[in-house]
């Protein structure tokens, strides 16, 4: 486990950085073109490795399931997050993204028949309290303008939770690289016409293009490779420990590079959400 701490920390830093780069690039490109570039470039970077490992025949055999799961793991949640970050700070978005395990637990009841016990319900309640604390920190404005980006973030994590269960149901034993690359490529094909239709009229600045390149290369392609290596070494549960570190880096990068304020409400919300996740994952 000690040997894998450095890759785990690097992965958290990369995924935390994705919120920084989306915050920079989303206003310049718009959500749909930005995410089409992100998933398309990342798929192009991973595709040669996929071919080298001889996984193309398996992709052709299971392309429908891979496409459906991949869209809900990449294209759809990424677009929701990019849209939310037109108004949310990088730190706030990264904290809300930590609700993914809570959403996975909620989906476990209808999809896997796992009725929530007292401990799981307490974890969910803590997580919801954390979301409420974040909303209160935005000035206690529970109107559409304040709620919409938060609900978009929760919609994104709900997509992650659903796709996680469907991956186990539809793609058991599937190589992780194939799920990642196939999902990214499927998302890119889906978003391509939408991105073309919504392409910004004004040229994006060089800073935004650099953010897109780093987002695709480091925070998507490289991050996926590290994540699946950690799954191989630590198992899915051990690799999921990155959940606790991503908000730390998301808040840190936003404060360092964008001058975002770190409020008491943000810290309280993060503590409640991560406390709920910890309670969900705690052994009896």
Residue 200, phi then psi, degrees to nearest 5: -65, 145
Residue 20 exposure: Cα atoms within 13 Å on the Cβ side: 28
| Cα gap 172→12, rounded to integer Å | 26
Q: For residue 185, is pLDDT > 60?
A: yes
Radius of gyration from C-alpha coordinates of the chain: 18
Q: Which of 97, 83, 78, 52 is nearest to 188 (CA)?
A: 78
Q: For residue 140, is pLDDT > 70?
A: no
Q: For residue 114, is pLDDT > 80?
A: no
Contacts of 1 (CB under 8 A, 6+ apart): 234, 238
pLDDT of 132: 85
93 CB neighbour count, 10 Å cutoff: 28
Q: For residue 139, is pLDDT > 60?
A: no
Quick one: residue 124, left, alpha or beta (phi over 0 = left, psi -120 to 50 = alpha)?
A: alpha
pLDDT of 221: 94
Angle at 83 between CA 81 and CA 86, to 5 degrees: 110
| Cα gap 204→162, rounded to integer Å | 34
Give the mean pLDDT of 176-185: 91
By percentage, how much of the chain surpasses pLDDT 70?
A: 93
Q: How confident is the model at residue 2 (pLDDT cuts 50, 70, 90)?
A: low
Distances (CA, A) of 91 to 32, 37, 87, 246, 275: 21, 23, 12, 10, 18
pLDDT of 217: 97
pLDDT of 72: 95
- DSSP conformation class of 72: I
55 CB neighbour count, 10 Å cutoff: 17
By percentage, how much of the chain surpasses pLDDT 90?
A: 58
| Cα gap 103→235, rounded to integer Å | 20
Render pLDDT for 219-278 as a digit per residue (tens, 0 to 9).
999 998 888 778 767 766 566 678 888 999 999 999 999 999 888 888 899 999 999 888
Name the residue with higher pLDDT: 161 or 1.
161
Structure-block tokens of residue 196: 């073309």
Q: What is the pTM of this model?
A: 0.92
Q: For residue 138, is pLDDT > 70?
A: no
pLDDT of 238: 64
Q: If you average pLDDT over every residue of the chain, what do you get?
A: 89
Render pLDDT for 8-30 as a digit per residue (tens, 0 to 9).
899 999 999 999 999 999 999 99
Give the mean pLDDT of 204-219: 97
pLDDT of 168: 84
Render pLDDT for 40-80 as a digit per residue (tens, 0 to 9).
999 999 999 999 999 999 999 999 999 999 999 999 999 99
The three-state secondary structure class of 281 is helix
96 CB neighbour count, 10 Å cutoff: 29
Q: Which of 217, 242, 244, 246 is nearest to 231 (CA)?
A: 242
Residue 132 exposure: Cα atoms within 13 Å on the Cβ side: 6
């Amino acid at each position: 486990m000690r040997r894998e701490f450095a890759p785990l920390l690097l992965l958290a830093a990369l995924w935390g950085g994705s919120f920084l780069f989306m915050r920079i690039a989303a206003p310049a490109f718009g959500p749909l073109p930005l995410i089409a570039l992100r998933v398309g470039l990342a798929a192009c970077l991973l595709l040669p490795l996929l071919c080298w490992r001889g996984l193309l025949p398996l992709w052709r055999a299971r392309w429908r399931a891979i496409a459906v799961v991949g869209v809900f793991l990449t294209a759809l949640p990424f677009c929701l997050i990019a849209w939310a970050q037109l108004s949310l700070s990088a730190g706030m978005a990264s904290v809300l993204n930590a609700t993914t395990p809570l959403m996975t637990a909620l989906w476990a009841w209808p999809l896997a028949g796992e009725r929530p016990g007292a401990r799981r319900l307490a974890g969910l309640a803590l997580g919801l309290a954390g979301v409420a604390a974040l909303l209160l920190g935005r000035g206690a404005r529970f109107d559409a303008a304040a709620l919409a980006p938060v609900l978009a973030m929760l919609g994104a994590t709900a997509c992650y939770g659903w796709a996680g269960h469907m991956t186990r149901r539809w793609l058991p034993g599937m190589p992780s690289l194939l799920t990642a690359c196939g999902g990214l490529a499927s998302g890119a094909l889906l978003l391509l016409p939408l991105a073309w239709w919504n392409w910004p009229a004004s040229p994006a600045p060089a800073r935004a293009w650099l953010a897109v390149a780093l987002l695709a290369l480091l925070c998507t392609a490289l991050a996926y490779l590290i994540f699946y290596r950690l799954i191989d070494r630590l198992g899915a549960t051990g690799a999921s420990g990155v959940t606790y570190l991503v908000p730390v880096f998301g808040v840190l990068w936003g404060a360092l590079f964008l001058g975002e304020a770190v409020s008491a409400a943000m810290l309280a919300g993060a503590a409640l959400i991560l406390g709920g996740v910890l309670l969900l994952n705690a052994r009896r």
